[in-house]
Structures are given as structure tokens and as C-alpha cells.
Structure 1
């Protein structure tokens, strides 16, 4: 009897300790601007727990499946345009950014959605002529099929982007007009025929290759409440629903600009992203830099704030050597609250990042910028900046993106030109109070 009482007492103490520990881990840390958490009193404990879980999870999903995930069949499957599922949030995105030491810069992004809806943008920076962009901007929406039929290609609005060799070669074509950036808008005929080529199938997969320590840092700053534990239970499902990888290479080809033909050769990268979990309306902010150095190296640095996904400030990025080897960033002092939190991106930025092998001092100077709106209802506003940079004394050129929430909606003078079938769908969507809809009916 005494033994049972003692056992019950010990069990009760253990339960109490577990409850106390969970309560302590769930304490909300101090916040900057009521959004960005600082390191709480139990940050170090939570960091090591998160790091251990992440490493175990990545081993189970990726490391022990390296042969399968690196096979030609798997790479061919993920690199081609994806078949959009019945999920109304299904998406497939391919983007390119490039620059050279002379200052030429190019950005192309195309996002396929169901029923032939395409969200596309093109920016071309010519040092002697200035910045030019696709004519629909700041709106990105194109309708590429009749009556909302499905599309299986990155094509429409004068664009055609397609795969030529798996994980090696993509072709970018555009034929149409581009408009100048400034108070006086000029439209000029432009034709692009560019080829992106990577030296190998090596690529940087964000689910697999982001630094575990950077992710653990973000997780350790948050309050570990019921929402957190629910997210952990569904992490396998989340990983399956989001794929995003990037690949460095060379972008080169012919440009015919207003009757003048010339050849462009730039260092660049492409990214491919697809799945069903890309809800822009849930993103608070993000900042993203793609920098291409005169020595042939490149780097990506970013910071994403998506509190609804339990990540109020997730730092990301990597350095790519001239030979195409990727090293993830392990530390970064780029904090969102220090750069453009009021809604206006800064014209200069200085910050430090590290990999396991090296520290990098990055200095950014903005040369030109433009605005576009992302989402079918303009849920987000993006400032695209075209920059010069210095990294540890090495000069370079590149791009920056600052994304903010936008609540102004898509203007009536633009949406009124949409096809009637699309206007009907959007009107019905706005009347919904729940997202419990029939498959095949809606686009978000």
C-alpha cells in the first residue's frame, strides 16, 4: 500500500513537472513592433530541442532517401511544369533573376494557377536606357485560355518559359512591348530569346538544405503553445505540400530592343516552387536579396515573417561558389524590424551573414525600384529593387524584394476587364465566410 502511494506521488510530481515545463515553454517572449519575438528566458533550451528534432526529421525524410531524391526520374518529375490539382490553392511558379558586372539586370516570374490564370512579371534594367517592365504591371494577372480551361505550360501574355533539359537548361522567350519606369511612360517593342543553363543538376532545396540552426533559432523564439504542437504533428503533411528549390547558372541570349539587337550574358539563378500551401494573405512581410558577384559567386539572403505558420521571423539563404557548390547561411543579423518596417524600403542596407566557413559583410545600394501587386485580390505589395552591392570588398549587382501586406484590393478599373466567368467566381468567393468549397470550383 505504501509502495502504491509512493508510486502515485512520484507520478503526480512528474506530471506536475511536465505541466510546469510546458507552461514555461509556452510563455510569450518580448515582441518588437508586436510582431517579432526576441530570445526569451528559455530560448537556449528550446533551441537545442528544436535543433535535435529538425535533424532527426531531415534524416528521416531526406538523408536516408538520398538515392531516390537524387535519381533522374525524381528530378525529371519535380523540374517539369506541374499538373495543378483540384485544390483551389494549387500553384506552380518558375522565376529567374540575373545580372552582370556591366549593370544589366533581368527578372522574370510566372505563376500558374488553375483555369489558365497566369501571374507574370518581367523587369529589364539596361544601364544606358533605364528600367522597363511588362505592360500590365503593377497588375500581374493574365488569362491564357478560353473560358477558363486548364493550361499545362508557362505561356501567355507574350511569355513562353519552358524546360529544354532536366535540371540543366530552361528557355525564356518574350515577345511584346515593355514600358519605361518613370513619370513619362514609353512603350517599346521587345523580343527576348534567352537560355538559362546550369553546369550541373546541383540545386538548393529549401526543405532539405536550409540551415537547421537558422530554423531552430526562429522556432525557439516563439511561444510553444497548442498551436505550435499542432503544427509539429502535421509537419510531414506541410513538407509534402510545399516544394521550393533554386539553382545557379548562366543566363544568355539575344535581345531585340526597339529594333536594336544585342547579346546579353549574365550570372543568374532560377527557382521552381509548387504545391498547395502558398497563401500570400498570411504573410506579414518578407525581404529577399539575390546578389551576383564579379568573381562568379552568388548569394541569396532573406527573412520571412509568417506568424500564422508559427514563424514570425525566419532567416534563409545560401552562398554559391563559382563552381556551383552551395553553402547554407548559418547566421544572419538582417532583422525585418530594422529595414523598412514602416512600409518604405531603405535605399541602403548593411548587414552580416555567416556560413560554417566564412563571414560576409554585405553592403547594398539601390539604383532603381518599381512596385507590383501579388495575388488575385492584390493581397501583397512588392517593391522590386535593382541594386549594386559589395560583399567583403567584391563588387556585384543584384535584386531585392520587399513584400508587405496590402489591403486596398484590386482596383475596379482593372478587375472590370477580367473575363465574365472569372468575375463571377471572384464575386462568389467574396461572399463566402468559410473555405469549405467544392473541388474544381474556385481559384484563390
Structure 2
């Protein structure tokens, strides 16, 4: 009896200590601008726990399945245009960013959603002609099929982007009008044909290859409350529903401008492919993203994301890619969102330091031009696209920057007036859901 009493007392003490520990880990750390957490008093303990869990999770999902995940069959499956499922949040996105020594810069992004909805944008910066952009911008929404039928291609609005060889070759075509920027905005007929080619199937998978230390740093800054543990229990499902990888390569081809003739283009760049069902822009507070292409043939991606609802209020991401195609994840960065454009206006100059396991890099950015676009079916966010020159450890380069902010103004009525009636019904139904109301006769097959 005495032994049982002692064991019960010890168990009670352990339970009490565990409860105290959970309470302490759930304390909210100091916040900058009420958004960005600093390192709390238990940061080191939480960092070590998070790092251990991340490494074990990645081993279970990726490392022990390397042969399967690296097979030609699997890569072909994830590289092609994806079939959008029944989930109304299903998405499939392919994007390209590129630049060269002459200062030419290209950004193309196409996001497929259900019922033939395509969200697309094209920016082309030519030093001799200035900035050209898609005619619908700042709106990105195109309707590519009759009566909202499903589509299986990255096609519409003058765009056609398609795969020619799995994980190696993609083709970018655009034929239509582009808007010129400057004092006088006018339409110009443009015919663009580019071929993206990578020297190998190597790529950077953000779920698999991002630095565990950087992710653990972000997680360790958060309050580990009941919502956090609930999210942790569903992390496997979340990972399965979100794929994002990038692959470096070369874009080559030509663009023909009405009245100006043909311009040959050859650029270093990368292709981004993202798909799944977990892409809710309305939950992102901010992000900043740099894609830099240097004169020595190397490239660099640096990002910082704030998504508090996902317990990633201050996540650093990125990698360096060597001229030979070797990817190294960033392991450190002093780029803090609150120091760059927090009030809604992106800076024209940025200087920051990032690190890999092998080297430290001083990055210096100078903005040459910029443009604004709105993303999401109801313009949930706005993105400032910047076209930049850069210097990294003394090596010159060119590239792109994106600054995303929340936008609460909605998609203007004059922009939405030309939408098909079925899409207008869907958007009204979505708004009624957001107000916890029901609208009689609304189509339940909606799109976020």
C-alpha cells in the first residue's frame, strides 16, 4: 500500500510538472508590431524540441523514401499539370523568373483553379523598352472555358505553358497585347516563345530541403498553446496537401514586339511548381521574396514569410544554387519583415546578410522598376513586383523581388462586372459564408 501511495505521489508530481511545463511553453513571447515574435525565455528548449521533431518527421516522410521519391515515375507524376480534385481549394501553379547580364527580366505565373479559372500575370522588363505587363493587370483572373467547364492545361488569356520533357524542358508561349508603362500607357502586340531547360532533374523541394534549423527557429518563437498542438497533430495531412519545388535552368527564345521587331532572349532563371489544397492567401500576413541571378552563373532565393495562423509568424526560407546546379539551403538570415516596408510601401534599397553551412553572403538590392498586382479571387492580397539589380559578395546580378501585403478592399465591381454569371454567383455565396449567412439559390461548388 505504501509503495502504491508513493508511486501515485510521484505520478501526480510528474503530471503537475508536465502541466506547468506546458503552461510555460504556451506563454506568448514579446511581439514587434503585435505580429512578429521575439525569442522568449524558453526559446532554446523549444528550438531543440522542434528541431528533433522536424528531423524525425523528415526522415520518416523523405529520407527513408528517397529511392521512390527520386524515381523517374514519381518525378513525372509531380511535374506534369495536376488534375484538380473535388476540393474547392485545389490549385496548380507554374511560375518562371529569369534575368540576364543585359538587364532583361521576365516573370510569368499561371495558377489553375477549378472550372477553368486561370490567374495569370506576365511582366517583361527590357532596358531599351521599359516594362511590359499583361493587359488585365492588376487583376489576374481569366476564364478559359465555356460555362465553367474544367480545364487540364496551363492555357488561356493568350498564354500556353506546357511540359516538353519531364523535369527538364518546359515551353512558355504568349501571343496577345501587353501594356507599356510610363507617362503614356498603351497596348502593344507581343509574341513570346521561350524554352526553359534544366541540365538535370535536380530541384529544391521546400517541404524536404528547407533548413530544419530555420523552421525550428520560427516554431520556437511561437506560443505552444492548444491550437498549436492541434495543428501539430494534423501536420502529416498538411504536408501531403502542399507541394512546392523550384528548379534552376536557362530560358532561351525570342519576343517579337509590334513596330520594334524581334528581340532574342537568353536568361538564367528558375521554374516554380506548386500544387495541392492548402493555399489560403487570406491567412498570410506578409511575405517578401527575392530571386537573384548573378553574373557568375549562380542564383539565390531569399524569402521571409509571416503566417501567424499556421504558427509561422517569422519564417526565413531560401537557398543558393551554384552554376553547376548544386542547391544549398540557407541556414541563417538577418532579413526581418518588420525592418523592410512594414507600413505598406516596399523600400527601393535593401541590404541584408544570409548564410549557408559553407558561406556568408552580403546582399545589396537596387530597385529599377516596380508594378502592382492583386492576387486571390477577391483580391485578398496585393503584391508589389520589383525588378532589381543586385550585388552579392561583390558579384553583380539582376533579379526580382515580391512584397506581399494583405488587402481588404475586395475586387472592384467594375472589374468583376465582366465575370461570367456563374462565377458572380459563386463569389456572392463565398461572401455569404464569410458572414455566416446563407444565400438562397447560390451554387455550392465554390472556389477560394
Decide whether the 8 Å contact of 2:298 with 2:322 is kept in 1: yes
CA RMSD of aligned residues (A): 1.4
Q: Matched residues in 2 for 1:142 and 1:10: separation?
A: 65
Moved more, 253-262 or 347-356: 253-262
TM superposition shift of 1:187: 1.3
Determine helix, strand or coil for the equivalent of 1:367.
Answer: strand
TM superposition shift of 1:181: 1.7
Q: Matched residues in 2 for 1:396 and 1:66: separation?
A: 34
Which residue of the partner structure matches residue 233 of structure 1?
Answer: 233
The yes-or-no answer on 1:157 pairing with 2:161 is no
Decide whether the 8 Å contact of 1:87 with 1:439 is kept in 2: no
Unaligned residue ranges in structure 1 (runs of 5+): none
Query: 1:333-383, CA deviations, whole angstroms, 9 ceiling, x for partnerless residues?
Result: 000000000000000000000000000000000000000000110000000
Q: Matched residues in 1 for 2:313 and 2:262: separation?
A: 47
Q: Matched residues in 2 for 1:439 and 1:13: separation?
A: 56
Superposed, which structure 2 residues align to 1:179-328 within 5 Å? 179-259=179-259, 260-328=261-329
How many positions carry a matched residue from both structures?
444
Q: Matched residues in 2 for 1:238 and 1:440: separation?
A: 24
TM superposition shift of 1:183: 3.4
Q: Matched residues in 2 for 1:345 and 1:11: separation?
A: 55
Q: Matched residues in 2 for 1:327 and 1:428: separation?
A: 45
The yes-or-no answer on 1:120 pairing with 2:124 is no
TM superposition shift of 1:440: 7.0
Which residue of the partner structure matches residue 138 of structure 1?
Answer: 138
* 4+ runs deviating over 4 angstroms: 433-440
Q: Matched residues in 2 for 1:181 and 1:24: separation?
A: 54
Q: Matched residues in 2 for 1:439 and 1:265: separation?
A: 46
Decide whether the 8 Å contact of 2:429 with 2:444 is kept in 1: no
Which residue of the partner structure matches residue 58 of structure 1?
Answer: 58
Which residue of the partner structure matches residue 93 of structure 1?
Answer: 93
Decide whether the 8 Å contact of 1:97 with 1:269 is kept in 2: yes
The yes-or-no answer on 1:346 pairing with 2:350 is no
TM superposition shift of 1:194: 0.1
TM-score normalized by the length of structure 1? 0.98
TM superposition shift of 1:7: 1.1
Decide whether the 8 Å contact of 1:143 with 1:156 is kept in 2: yes
TM superposition shift of 1:161: 0.1
Q: Specify whether residues 439 and 177 from structure 1 end up closer, same or farther in structure 2 by C-alpha distance, changes over 3 A only.
A: closer
Query: 1:112-144, CA deviations, whole angstroms, 9 ceiling, x for partnerless residues?
Result: 000000000000000011101010000000000
TM superposition shift of 1:182: 2.5
TM superposition shift of 1:435: 10
The yes-or-no answer on 1:370 pairing with 2:371 is yes
Which residue of the partner structure matches residue 171 of structure 1?
Answer: 171
Determine helix, strand or coil for the equivalent of 2:409.
Answer: coil
Which residue of the partner structure matches residue 421 of structure 1?
Answer: 422
Determine helix, strand or coil for the equivalent of 1:337.
Answer: helix
Q: Specify whether residues 70 and 434 from structure 1 end up closer, same or farther in structure 2 by C-alpha distance, changes over 3 A only.
A: farther
Unaligned residue ranges in structure 2 (runs of 5+): none
Q: Matched residues in 2 for 1:292 and 1:2: separation?
A: 72
Decide whether the 8 Å contact of 1:86 with 1:439 is kept in 2: no
Which residue of the partner structure matches residue 357 of structure 1?
Answer: 358
Determine helix, strand or coil for the equivalent of 2:374.
Answer: strand
Q: Matched residues in 2 for 1:440 and 1:294: separation?
A: 52
Q: Matched residues in 2 for 1:159 and 1:292: separation?
A: 25
Determine helix, strand or coil for the equivalent of 1:431.
Answer: helix
Q: Matched residues in 1 for 2:367 and 2:241: separation?
A: 35
TM superposition shift of 1:168: 0.2
The yes-or-no answer on 1:390 pairing with 2:391 is yes
Q: Matched residues in 1 for 2:83 and 2:377: separation?
A: 20
Decide whether the 8 Å contact of 2:300 with 2:321 is kept in 1: yes
Q: Specify whether residues 350 and 436 from structure 1 end up closer, same or farther in structure 2 by C-alpha distance, changes over 3 A only.
A: farther
Determine helix, strand or coil for the equivalent of 1:340.
Answer: coil
Query: 1:171-194, CA deviations, whole angstroms, 9 ceiling, x for partnerless residues?
Result: 000000111123310211110000
TM superposition shift of 1:436: 11
Q: Matched residues in 2 for 1:436 and 1:415: separation?
A: 22
Q: Matched residues in 2 for 1:384 and 1:22: separation?
A: 42
TM-score normalized by the length of structure 2? 0.98
Q: Matched residues in 2 for 1:262 and 1:315: separation?
A: 37
Determine helix, strand or coil for the equivalent of 1:13.
Answer: helix
TM superposition shift of 1:434: 5.2
TM superposition shift of 1:223: 0.5
Q: Matched residues in 1 for 2:152 and 2:13: separation?
A: 60
Q: Matched residues in 2 for 1:94 and 1:8: separation?
A: 59
